[in-house]
Amino acid sequence: MDNELNHETVVAQLGKLIPPADELNRITAIFKALGDPTRARILYALAVSKLSVGELANGLELTQSNVSHQLTVLKQLKLVVGTRSGRNVHYQLADNHIISIFQQVAAHAEEVAD
């Protein structure tokens, strides 16, 4: 009976347990960005080192235009930050949470594959 009462309480409180719509929109926007293979490659590269658009384009065999576009999306979501160094801007991850999300998903994908 106690378990049923707890369940009913949880059901009654669901609206309060889920983040508000604006927060959910930010969360899902980040997942959409992370779901793009090109952006994922860029984020993995930036987890290794600060890199310029040209370095990312060369290393990942992408066009500079494509890299710039993807970085704009990632900057808008505050996943990467750029620091001017002379004529170039070098990008890096905004924080280590981003790569940790990939690592957690990779660990889950490995478990599912077994």
Residue 10 scores a pLDDT above 70: yes
Q: pLDDT (tens digit, 9 = 90+) per residue, 16-44?
A: 889 999 999 999 999 999 999 999 999 99
pTM recorded for the entire structure = 0.84
> Domains of the chain, with CATH numbers?
20-113 (1.10.10.10)
Residue 112 scores a pLDDT above 80: yes
Token readout for 22 is 């604006």
Q: pLDDT (tens digit, 9 = 90+) per residue, 64-111?
A: 999 999 999 999 999 999 999 899 999 999 998 999 998 999 899 998
The residue among 61 and 109 whose pLDDT is bigger is 61
74-82 contacts, C-beta under 8 A, 24 or more apart: 74/33, 74/39, 74/42, 74/43, 77/29, 77/30, 77/33, 79/30, 79/33, 79/43, 80/42, 80/43, 80/46
Alpha-carbon span 79 to 30, nearest angstrom? 8
| β-bridge pairing 51-52 and 80-85 | unpaired
Q: What are phi and psi of 82, to 5 degrees?
A: -115, 145
- Structure confidence at residue 4 as a pLDDT band (50, 70, 90): low
Contact present, 111 and 102 (Cβ < 8 Å): no
